[in-house]
């Protein structure tokens, strides 16, 4: 894995003359964030050696390099999910590449199903913690100390300083935020009513199919990490029949301008 990461990083560095400080992973329906960037280089995943290729509708597949103000950013337009058939090591390979391209902060976004009864479709939730309910762990197997330690401290998976800054900014921008716990399942099925209930009882506020492995690997490499989730459907009895991927994308797109602004401001001001 170390060699593959270095090979991919060398390939990218030969083509791209920009050392990013921030990495941003754009989830379902949030891909237009790159419009906030002064884009300098775009590398389709299909051209990057060792990169998986994203197979999900609503997820483009490219690394986008550019600036926001004086901050240098690389955005992943499209991510990889376990349900697509990749191993967790494949799902998280790009995060390792971003680290060795130079980033020290990672911002992740996703769409999720809300189980907190105070939530509504279209809400934006800062992820303050997560519960890993995925069937495979990205750090399982021999640990390569060059990436990070065998046993990773997960007491602050999401940077409290970044969360505090985002809340300040949201106040000024008049963006209403929730703050809660994200539980990661493998998908690709949406949850049954009994499963949404389980998620709630386990102590989470929302549930989704991504993010957790990426954040684990980011923390393995000591990246400061920030996560934001758009509630695209509610796992309650009244609305459960209506959930489809198209509706998830539609709801995510409605919240997109606010999420875009928040992430942009955080990058500018943090």
Judged by CB under 6 A, the residue of 26, 183, 207, 259 near ligand HPA is 207
Which residues touch 84 (CB under 8 Å, ≥6 apart)? 52, 54, 55, 56
Judged by CB under 6 A, the residue of 190, 204, 223, 260 near ligand HPA is 190
Q: Evaluate whether 106 touches 219 at the Cβ level (below 8 Å).
A: no
- Is residue 209 a contact point for ligand HPA (CB under 6 A)? yes
Judged by CB under 6 A, the residue of 92, 159, 211, 232 near ligand HPA is 232
- Is residue 235 a contact point for ligand HPA (CB under 6 A)? yes
CA dihedral of residues 76, 81, 86, 90 (deg, nearest 10): 40
Q: How far apart are CA 261 and CA 74, in angstroms?
A: 17
Q: How far apart are CA 62 and CA 76, in angstroms?
A: 6
- Is residue 184 a contact point for ligand HPA (CB under 6 A)? no
- Is residue 253 a contact point for ligand HPA (CB under 6 A)? no
How, if at all, do strands 124-132 and 178-184 pair?
parallel
- Is residue 191 a contact point for ligand HPA (CB under 6 A)? yes
Q: How far apart are CA 18 and CA 16, in angstroms?
A: 6
Judged by CB under 6 A, the residue of 20, 23, 58, 208 near ligand HPA is 208
- Is residue 125 a contact point for ligand HPA (CB under 6 A)? no
Q: Which residue is nearest to ligand HPA (CB)?
A: 113
- Is residue 111 a contact point for ligand HPA (CB under 6 A)? yes
CA dihedral of residues 97, 25, 166, 235 (deg, nearest 10): -140
State which residue, 80 or 190, has the beta carbon closest to ligand HPA: 190
State which residue, 62 or 230, has the beta carbon closest to ligand HPA: 230
Chain residues in the site for ligand HPA (CB under 6 A):
111-113, 190-191, 207-209, 232-233, 235, 243, 248
């Amino acid at each position: 894995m170390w060699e593959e990461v270095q090979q991919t990083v060398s390939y990218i560095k030969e083509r791209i003359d920009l050392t990013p400080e921030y990495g941003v992973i754009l989830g379902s329906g949030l891909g237009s964030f790159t419009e906030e960037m002064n884009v300098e280089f775009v590398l389709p995943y299909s051209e990057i050696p060792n990169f998986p290729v994203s197979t999900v509708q609503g997820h483009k597949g490219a690394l986008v390099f550019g600036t926001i103000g004086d901050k240098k950013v690389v955005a992943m337009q499209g991510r990889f999910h376990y349900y697509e058939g990749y191993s967790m090591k494949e799902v998280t390979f790009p995060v390792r590449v971003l680290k060795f391209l130079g980033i020290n902060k990672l911002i992740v976004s996703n769409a999720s199903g809300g189980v907190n009864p105070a939530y509504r479709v279209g809400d934006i939730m800062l992820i303050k913690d997560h519960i890993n309910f995925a069937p495979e762990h990205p750090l399982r197997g021999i640990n390569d100390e060059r990436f990070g330690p065998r046993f990773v401290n997960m007491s602050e998976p999401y940077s409290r300083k970044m969360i505090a800054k985002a809340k300040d900014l949201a106040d000024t921008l008049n963006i209403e935020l929730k703050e809660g716990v994200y539980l990661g399942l493998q998908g690709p099925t949406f949850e049954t009513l009994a499963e949404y209930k389980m998620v709630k009882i386990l102590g989470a506020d929302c549930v989704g199919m991504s993010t957790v492995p990426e954040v684990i690997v980011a923390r393995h490499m000591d990246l400061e990490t920030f996560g934001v989730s758009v509630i695209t459907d509610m796992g309650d009895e009244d609305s459960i029949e209506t959930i489809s991927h198209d509706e998830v994308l539609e709801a995510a797109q409605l919240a997109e301008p606010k999420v875009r602004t928040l992430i942009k401001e955080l990058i500018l001001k943090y």
